[in-house]
C-alpha cells in the first residue's frame, strides 16, 4: 500500500466517523458500523488508531483544523473592516445553518457534552480546538479595536470567548428546539456586543 493510499484510508475513516458521530454521537457509533460503512477492514483501523478513543481525538483534531482554517480565511479576508468581518462571519454561519437544516452539522456541539466526562483526551482536543477558534476571533477583535472600528465593554480575548460561548450555546439550543431562532437571537446579541466606534 503506497503512502497516498494509506493517507486516503485514514482520511476516509475520519470523514466517515465524523458523519456517523453527527448522526449517532460518539458512543452511539459502533466500531463495526464504522468499518462497514467505510468498507475498511478492522486491521486497517488498528493500523492507524490504537483505540476508538484515539480515533475520536484524531477526528476532533481534523474537524477543528478544518474549522480553524475556514474561520481564519473568512476573518483575514481583505473586504470590509475587522468588526464587519466578524459580523459577516456569524451572519454567514446563521444563513448556512438555516439553509442546511444544520441541527446536526457541528461536531463540537454534538460531542461537547457527551465526551467531556467519558474521555479526558477527547475533552482536551475539544478544548484546544475551541481555544484556537477563540484566539482567531480575539485577534480580529483586537484589530478592530486598534483601528477604532468597535467599542468593546471588555478585552478582546474575553469578548471572543463570550462570542464563542454564546454561539455554541445557541447552536445547542437550536438542536433541542429544532428551531433556528436561538441563533438569530445570538446574532442580534453579537451585534449589540460589537457596537461601532
Give residue 4's pLDDT: 40
Q: Average pLDDT for residues 100-115, to the nearest whole number?
A: 77
pTM: 0.89
- Least Cα distance to 71 among 88, 59, 56 occurs for 88
Work out the mean pLDDT of the chain and round it to a whole number: 91
What is the reported pLDDT for 176? 87
CATH number assigned to the domain comprising residue 135:
1.10.357.10
- DSSP run (H or E) holding 68: helix 52-75
Please classify residue 183 by burial: count the beta carbons closer than 10 Å to its beta carbon, then call 0-12 exposed, 13-18 middle and 19+ buried.
buried
Backbone angles phi and psi of 27, in degrees to 5: -70, -30
More confident of the two residues 18 and 97: 18
Q: Are residues 23 and 57 in the same domain?
A: no
DSSP code for 197: -
130-189 residue pLDDT tens = 999 999 999 999 999 999 999 999 999 999 999 999 999 999 898 888 888 999 999 999
* Gap between the Cα atoms of 186 and 90, Å rounded: 9
Number of other residues whose CB lies within 10 A of the CB of residue 17:
26
Cα torsion at 174, 126, 26, 41 (round to 10°)?
A: 130
Q: Flag whether pLDDT at 104 surpasses 60.
A: no
The pLDDT value recorded for residue 6 is: 54
User: In the prediction, which pLDDT does 16 show?
Assistant: 96
Would you call 196 helix, strand, or coil by DSSP?
strand
Residue 103, H or E segment = none
Task: Give the span between the Cα atoms of 52 and 58, in whole angstroms.
Answer: 10
The string of pLDDT tens digits covering residues 34-84 is: 999 999 999 889 999 999 999 999 999 999 999 999 999 999 887 779 999
pLDDT value, residue 97: 84
Which grid cell sits at 104?
Answer: 446536526
Res. 114: pLDDT tops 50: yes
pLDDT at 154: 96
Per DSSP, 150 falls in state B
When pLDDT is averaged across residues 105-128 and rounded to a whole number, the result is 90
Q: Are residues 34 and 126 in the same domain?
A: no
Q: Are residues 165 and 181 in the same domain?
A: yes
- How much is the pLDDT for 110? 86
Measured in whole angstroms, the distance separating CA 195 from the mean position of its chain's CA atoms is 26
Domain that holds residue 13: 1-48
Decide if pLDDT at 8 tops 70. yes
Output the pLDDT for position 51.
95
Q: By the 8 A CB rule, do 55 and 17 touch?
A: yes
Q: Are residues 117 and 30 in the same domain?
A: no
Pair 170, 138 in one domain: yes
Q: Which helix (H) or strand (E) holds 158?
A: helix 156-177
Q: 94 and 126 share a domain?
A: yes
**Number of structural domains the chain divides into:** 2
Q: How far apart are CA 22 and CA 14, in angstroms?
A: 12
Amino acid at each position: 500500500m503506497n503512502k497516498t493510499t494509506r493517507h486516503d484510508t485514514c482520511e476516509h475513516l475520519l470523514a466517515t466517523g465524523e458523519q456517523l458521530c453527527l448522526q449517532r454521537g460518539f458512543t452511539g457509533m459502533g466500531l463495526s458500523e464504522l468499518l462497514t460503512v467505510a468498507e475498511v477492514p478492522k486491521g486497517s483501523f488498528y493500523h492507524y488508531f490504537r483505540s476508538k478513543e484515539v480515533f475520536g481525538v484524531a477526528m476532533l483534531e481534523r474537524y477543528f483544523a478544518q474549522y480553524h482554517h475556514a474561520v481564519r480565511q473568512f476573518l483575514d479576508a481583505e473586504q470590509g473592516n475587522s468588526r464587519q468581518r466578524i459580523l459577516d462571519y456569524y451572519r454567514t454561519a446563521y444563513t448556512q445553518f438555516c439553509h442546511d437544516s444544520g441541527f446536526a452539522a457541528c461536531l463540537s456541539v454534538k460531542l461537547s457534552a457527551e465526551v467531556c466526562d467519558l474521555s479526558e483526551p477527547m475533552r482536551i482536543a475539544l478544548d484546544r480546538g475551541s481555544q484556537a477558534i477563540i484566539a482567531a476571533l480575539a485577534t480580529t477583535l483586537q484589530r478592530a479595536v486598534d483601528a477604532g472600528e468597535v467599542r468593546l465593554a471588555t478585552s478582546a480575548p474575553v469578548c471572543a470567548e463570550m462570542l464563542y460561548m454564546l454561539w455554541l450555546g445557541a447552536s445547542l439550543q437550536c438542536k433541542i428546539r429544532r428551531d433556528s431562532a436561538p441563533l438569530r437571537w445570538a446574532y442580534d446579541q453579537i451585534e449589540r456586543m460589537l457596537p461601532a466606534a
